Structure 1
Amino acid sequence: AMEKLQILLAFVVSLGAASGASLGVVQTEGGSVQGQNVAISASRSVDVFKGIPFAAQPGVFEKPQRHPGWEGTLKATKFGPRCMQIDIFQTGTFGSEDCLYLNIWVPQGQQVSSNLPVMIWFFGGGFLVGGSMGPNLFDNYMYSGQELAEMGDVIVVSVGYRVGVLGFLSTGDSGVPGNYGLWDQHAAIAWVHRNIGSFGGDPENITIFGESAGGASVSFQTLTPYNKGLVRRAIAQSGVALCPWALITNPRTHAQEVAVKVGCPTDDRMAACLRSTDPKILTMAGPHLRPAPTTSYMYMSPVVDGDFIPDHPGNLFHNAADIDYLSGVNNMDGHMFTSLDLPFFSDKTKESSVEDLRTLLATFTKDKGKEGMEVVFADYSANWEATPSQESIKRTAVEIETDYAFLIPAQSTLFLHKDNARTGRTYSYVLSEQNSLAGPNNLYHEWVGADHADDLQYLFGKPFFNPGAYGDRHRNLSSYFIAYWANFARTGDPNKGNLPVPVFWPEFTYNGQEYMNLNSQMSENSVGHYMRLRYVHLWTKTLQSMPSCSSQNGVPLP
């Protein structure tokens, strides 16, 4: 009988081994946590931990503090709440002040994984909205790390951070210095560095990555002195610290607007009064997402506080000298914003006028006055027909908005990173896959390429998770994204790692200014040079050298 029992036990054990290993209960600094194991195949699974607190509930306009810990085992099986923000209808708030939680996806084979690269994700949302906790829109959980973790064989971590007034209001002085959302992100990075070893991660190989405001956040986290030695690599998608919407130079004006709305004085009593105001009321008093021109209305963003961001970001690149850096944009990142900013842009039956375009451009060149606007306008309209077609006007509007808000700042950042690099490598890309809503009988004009946020579905493996909604070409592109990103996280080189890549991606150098053109039809012609260099010079040199009508935030190229 004993022998039979041993055979039975051996059989049960082998059954367990067949479905891949699992972490079970994990010890962290706050206590033990237990997640869920999701089977992928006979030999692969992913351990998923949801809603682990990485800091205590923060006080209003206070930096995050360490979590006091918990008794017993925390069942990490449901997401924490997202941080308090304005709802989609902009009529109320949702989310919570208690929102500093993170989620972890750990891929497992037949043995428990160890020493895996770690990728920490920062969501986008203009520093106003967004979250990594559960469904984003229509029950679609865009930031599920499962596919990326499993296919890339990396640990994926997604984190919550404060947004809107509670995350970024600043009085421009020591009253309410600001950057609370950035402090939250830093607290999450530090927690991961201290604890991820228990989950099978390599604390010395952490890559931070994010998109839009999340990409700008990644950029700020590489520039602050506080992450020295914590971050090895960084990927900034469609957003960097130099974006015009990512840094506020006159925060006190905006703090006073909020104070007036909530009935606080705007003198030296303002900070104390704001701190004692109901957080929901504070949140509603912040900026709402409203049209015209969108990218200039994002005024709850990071600030130069003399502490987390000690100086203008352009002067802080020495802090990223040993961080491998990969950054890029979507070729029509500005499309989503242009459709809000330009009258009749989205209506295929109505016409946008050249005057509308000039008005839009004037807001982007306002500190250089009419002369500045004319110089830029002349360059963008140089190839127009004698009477410009609707396509010319609308495409030019998208180019201007993409260049101004995303592409030029991203290129400037690559130059500055390269200029200050010691061991850190530099890589550049543009995504040019056509938007799925583009086409003659579709919502968008047929010429629309990759819109803002189009990269997310490919990076997070949606074409594999939801095969019916995508074609083979989308699965190809998704596999390219995951291969380059996971290889980069593993080795600092997108070409080297566990996954084969379709085309060799060269480093960005001064001489060649190489970049990868990512799409579903990749070949040796996918490597480009001098991304929109004429326009990079137009915005960073020609325009900057003109006399200003007001203070200037631009950073000249080295």
Structure 2
Amino acid sequence: MRWKRTALLNVVLVVATSALHLTVEQGINNDQISTSPATIDETPNSVLVHTIQHSEDFAVGDETIDAVADNTTKEKPTTTQSNSYSNSDSVAYADEPIGHKEKRMNTESLHDRTGDGGGDDEGDTDGGNGDDTNDDTFVVETTSGRVRGHFWRENEKIISYIDIKYGTFDSPFEASVAPNKSAEVHALKEHSSQCPQLQNDKDVGDKYVGDTDCLTLSIFKPPNVKNASVLVHIHEGNFIGESADPAIYGPEYLTAKQIILVLPNYRLGPLGFLCLQNKIAPGNAALKDLSLALTWVKTNIEKFGGNPHNIAVSGIGTAGALAGYLALSPMSSENVHKVIIESGSVLSHWAIDRDPIDTATRLSSNIENFKSFEGVDLKQLLKAAKNIALRPCLEKTDNPFMTETPWKVLGKKEIKIPFMMGTTKYAGVHEFLSHNSKSIQELNKDVGLLLPNDLHFTSDDERTRIGNKVKTEYFDDNDITMDSVEPLTLYYTDAAYLGPAIRTARPLVGSGATVYFYEFSFVGEFNRELHAVESPVNGAVRGDTIGYIFTQDGDKPAENTDELSTVERLVELWTSFINTGTPTGADITWEKFDNEDPSEEQWLSIDTKVTPSKGLHVDRMKLWTDIYKEYFVERSLAYGMSPSVCTVLVLQAVFFITFFRHAWHFF
């Protein structure tokens, strides 16, 4: 009878284990898909050359966030951090908008010059004599309705279609859908569409600008073009600001090479990235906007003279990470044929929120008398989110953009498209500029703050040991000071931009993608961001390639200058890649990146001269390669393990121990 009692006991244990598993799973409010170490967050506040903007109120319903509200009254453990190192609240290690921030070109004086030729329903975009007539020469029939084009800034070599509506949404956090077809002809000449955000005004401080009817895109094309390659460029803004402004991303260089340029808007801040992992705010609304924009382009671009089967997507910093996400997600990947990225990566630790429910909890705690997100005033919401980093996340609802981390996707998915990716020499200068003497002292006191928050350590001693390795690599045995300009900037460059880019390029090659890697170092008049932030280093900073791919307010370099030569080189490399997937240029040989041996990895140094090179900062990169090989949170056995799973494993262990203790002699 003893063996029967033993068997019965173990059956009871199995049943109890399963019941407890279900109970715990159901009781956890939006049990997070993955977690990051609560004691590690290295992100200092970047120097922001812009702020956020917003208008128009809205209210939303919420099914589960009331549980978040209940948590706002509970104290959470804190770590020793400087003012610049708030846990996930900071927006460092993310992209900055182009810093020059000149006044937008006032195009009201531009004439509506549409030519005198006839048009048809397919959108005849050819020719035209420039007369200010209202015929249908530049009218194109799209799924959004009829849109009228105009010569861009009186340049008869560029036809522009400004702020075409591609999407709409009812609830501010839900996925966007295609709009109803308009009966009126859309004929705007000047870009004005902005998604809700805060913008800094020197007189009034934070100013709310934009509105929710903001899902628009602008198209710039050469006349008479047929089957042209298409570049969809995603605007920067640190996930929180800016818009697809052609005053910053001017089309002149690209259209001269017969490329069609598309500039889309997408939702920002909490509207774009609040992630409750439920039906009210499933997450990644911004990426779903961009996916919808790509679908619109794929469906309509042929009527503008574009090739729907050759669409490249590009971005810098956070926008570069968004471009990478679009290439990986099943929702959008079919519409992405090439990718161009500068100083941004899906594997940058700042590119994903591993605990979005905690982020939502902190956001709700910033809203006075918060009960749920239902009925929250838009302006209140945006103000509350000002210092909280909202980012892409994993989803749990129907029709998700992303259910697996990029690292997992890169490890198992075949990716056959070409990538051109790299960084600027001093991509991390904004993070250096965010420091003050107090935050520098915190780094010296706790070297663990030098470690990104996607690393997991089993003890504080181990964390300190690895932190000291990083400190020694960049600062030798010296204390970090405000005079440590170059080493601290290089540290941030490697930890947040170059290292993640290399770690992204290697598995991309392994998955079947073709990768061309570069480092941009050139310094000239059109390094807009370098000059805007008054950089203390003499080298290109994050965002500086913009001034050599796009025009800003129509400005172009003078003849016989290094700036003009750099424009010509970059535009030739970029456009040849967009056209063929292989970047080529006069007297330039750019070999494909190979991940077999770090010292043999091919890359292109872009400075006053363009130089093919091997082994990109091998010693510095080896440190980060070794650290991530051992301590990357997704390599940890505990990664993504919910409390219920841990409970089940423990009870199952008890089951086997009990069973074999009492029943071994029956075998």
TM-score range, shorter chain: 0.7 to 0.9
In the superposition, relative to structure 1, how do residues 515 and 366 fare at CA in structure 2: closer, same or farther (>3 Å)?
closer
The amino acid that maps onto 1:489 is: I
In the superposition, relative to structure 1, how do residues 31 and 302 fare at CA in structure 2: closer, same or farther (>3 Å)?
same
In the superposition, relative to structure 1, how do residues 412 and 386 fare at CA in structure 2: closer, same or farther (>3 Å)?
closer
Q: Which residue of 2 aligns with 1:556?
A: none
Pick the aligned partner of 2:444 from 326, 330, 355.
355
1:364 touches 1:404 (CA, 8 Å); kept in 2? no
Listed one character per residue, the Cα deviations across residues 229-259 of structure 1 (whole Å, up to 9, x for unaligned) are 2111111211111111110001101111222
Query: What is the distance in 2 between the residues matched to 1:163 and 1:77?
Result: 24
The amino acid that maps onto 2:540 is: A
Pick the aligned partner of 2:322 from 198, 217, 225.
217
Pick the aligned partner of 1:24 from 138, 148, 153.
138
In the superposition, relative to structure 1, how do residues 360 and 417 fare at CA in structure 2: closer, same or farther (>3 Å)?
same
Pick the aligned partner of 1:308 from 401, 410, 413.
401
Shift of 1:463: 10
Q: Which residue of 2 aligns with 1:291?
A: none
Q: Does 1:124 align with 2:199?
A: no
1:118 touches 1:207 (CA, 8 Å); kept in 2? yes
Listed one character per residue, the Cα deviations across residues 330-350 of structure 1 (whole Å, up to 9, x for unaligned) are 1111001111035399xxxxx
2:198 touches 2:206 (CA, 8 Å); kept in 1? yes
Q: Which residue of 2 aligns with 1:240?
A: 345
Q: Does 1:411 align with 2:502?
A: yes
Q: Which residue of 1 aligns with 2:219?
A: 104
SS in 2 for 1:416: helix
Q: Does 1:164 align with 2:269?
A: yes
In the superposition, relative to structure 1, how do residues 443 and 279 fare at CA in structure 2: closer, same or farther (>3 Å)?
closer
Shift of 1:471: 8.1
The amino acid that maps onto 2:291 is: H
2:557 touches 2:563 (CA, 8 Å); kept in 1? no
Q: Which residue of 2 aligns with 1:428?
A: 517
Shift of 1:103: 0.4
Query: What is the distance in 1 between the residues matched to 2:454 and 2:184?
Result: 58
In the superposition, relative to structure 1, how do residues 443 and 193 fare at CA in structure 2: closer, same or farther (>3 Å)?
closer
Shift of 1:65: 1.0
In the superposition, relative to structure 1, how do residues 299 and 544 fare at CA in structure 2: closer, same or farther (>3 Å)?
farther
Q: Does 1:340 align with 2:438?
A: no
Query: What is the distance in 2 between the residues matched to 1:192 and 1:58?
Result: 22
Pick the aligned partner of 2:622 from 509, 521, 537.
537
Q: Which residue of 1 aligns with 2:190?
A: 78
Greater Cα offset, 184-193 or 368-377 = 368-377
Q: Does 1:519 align with 2:611?
A: no
Q: Which residue of 2 aligns with 1:286?
A: 385
Q: Which residue of 2 aligns with 1:153?
A: 258
Q: Which residue of 2 aligns with 1:138?
A: none
Listed one character per residue, the Cα deviations across residues 17-49 of structure 1 (whole Å, up to 9, x for unaligned) are 7889x95111111211102124887xx610011
In the superposition, relative to structure 1, how do residues 247 and 284 fare at CA in structure 2: closer, same or farther (>3 Å)?
same
2:235 touches 2:319 (CA, 8 Å); kept in 1? yes
SS in 2 for 1:284: helix
Listed one character per residue, the Cα deviations across residues 399-453 of structure 1 (whole Å, up to 9, x for unaligned) are 11111111111111101110111xx4211111112376899xx9443x4311111
The amino acid that maps onto 2:603 is: Y
Q: Which residue of 2 aligns with 1:453?
A: 543
Which residues of 2 match residues 41-52 of structure 1 at below 5 A?
A: 45-52=157-164
SS in 2 for 1:225: coil
Q: Which residue of 2 aligns with 1:393?
A: 484
Q: Which has the larger radius of gyration?
A: 2
Query: What is the distance in 1 between the residues matched to 2:241 and 2:637?
Result: 30
Listed one character per residue, the Cα deviations across residues 246-289 of structure 1 (whole Å, up to 9, x for unaligned) are 10001101111222333566xxxx7xx3143222221111133x
2:255 touches 2:261 (CA, 8 Å); kept in 1? no
Q: Does 1:94 align with 2:209?
A: yes
Query: What is the distance in 2 between the residues matched to 1:434 and 1:253?
Result: 41
The amino acid that maps onto 1:82 is: Q
Query: What is the distance in 2 between the residues matched to 1:46 and 1:309?
Result: 37
Q: Which residue of 1 aligns with 2:419?
A: 325
The amino acid that maps onto 1:142 is: I
Q: Does 1:381 align with 2:472?
A: yes
1:32 touches 1:72 (CA, 8 Å); kept in 2? yes
Query: What is the distance in 1 between the residues matched to 2:455 and 2:507?
Result: 25
The amino acid that maps onto 1:314 is: W
2:248 touches 2:551 (CA, 8 Å); kept in 1? no
SS in 2 for 1:52: strand
List gaps (5 residues or longer) in structure 2: 1-115, 118-126, 641-667
The amino acid that maps onto 2:392 is: P
Shift of 1:531: 1.5
Q: Which residue of 2 aligns with 1:4?
A: none
Listed one character per residue, the Cα deviations across residues 369-397 of structure 1 (whole Å, up to 9, x for unaligned) are 45334435435535867767979832111
Greater Cα offset, 395-404 or 534-543 = 534-543
SS in 2 for 1:119: strand
Which residues of 2 match residues 540-555 of structure 1 at below 5 A?
A: 540-542=625-627, 544-546=629-631
1:80 touches 1:101 (CA, 8 Å); kept in 2? no
SS in 1 for 2:358: helix
Greater Cα offset, 311-320 or 424-433 = 311-320
Shift of 1:129: 1.4
Query: What is the distance in 2 between the residues matched to 1:231 and 1:515?
Result: 23
In the superposition, relative to structure 1, how do residues 190 and 281 fare at CA in structure 2: closer, same or farther (>3 Å)?
same
1:372 touches 1:543 (CA, 8 Å); kept in 2? no
Q: Does 1:402 align with 2:493?
A: yes
| Root mean square deviation, CA, Å | 3.3
Query: What is the distance in 2 between the residues matched to 1:116 and 1:331?
Result: 33
Q: Which residue of 2 aligns with 1:6?
A: none
Shift of 1:508: 0.7
How many residues are treated as equivalent by the alignment? 494
The amino acid that maps onto 1:426 is: V
The amino acid that maps onto 1:530 is: G
Shift of 1:537: 3.1
Q: Which residue of 1 aligns with 2:563?
A: 474
Shift of 1:551: 6.7
Q: Which residue of 2 aligns with 1:203?
A: 308
1:166 touches 1:279 (CA, 8 Å); kept in 2? no
List gaps (5 residues or longer) in structure 1: 1-11, 135-140, 289-297, 346-350, 554-558
Greater RCO structure (CA 8 Å; 6+ sep) = 2
Q: Does 1:194 align with 2:299?
A: yes
1:105 touches 1:149 (CA, 8 Å); kept in 2? no
* Length-normalised TM-score, structure 1: 0.80
1:92 touches 1:284 (CA, 8 Å); kept in 2? no
In the superposition, relative to structure 1, how do residues 355 and 509 fare at CA in structure 2: closer, same or farther (>3 Å)?
same
Listed one character per residue, the Cα deviations across residues 345-369 of structure 1 (whole Å, up to 9, x for unaligned) are 9xxxxx9898279475256687434
In the superposition, relative to structure 1, how do residues 152 and 173 fare at CA in structure 2: closer, same or farther (>3 Å)?
same
In the superposition, relative to structure 1, how do residues 232 and 208 fare at CA in structure 2: closer, same or farther (>3 Å)?
same
Listed one character per residue, the Cα deviations across residues 89-146 of structure 1 (whole Å, up to 9, x for unaligned) are 56342111111000000012xxx11100000011112111121135xxxxxx2112x2
Shift of 1:59: 2.3
1:35 touches 1:48 (CA, 8 Å); kept in 2? yes
Q: Does 1:488 align with 2:577?
A: yes
The amino acid that maps onto 1:330 is: T
Pick the aligned partner of 1:276 from 366, 375, 381.
375
SS in 2 for 1:97: coil
Pick the aligned partner of 2:149 from 18, 35, 48.
35
Listed one character per residue, the Cα deviations across residues 455-503 of structure 1 (whole Å, up to 9, x for unaligned) are 11112145972437x98112211221111111111111111xxxx4441
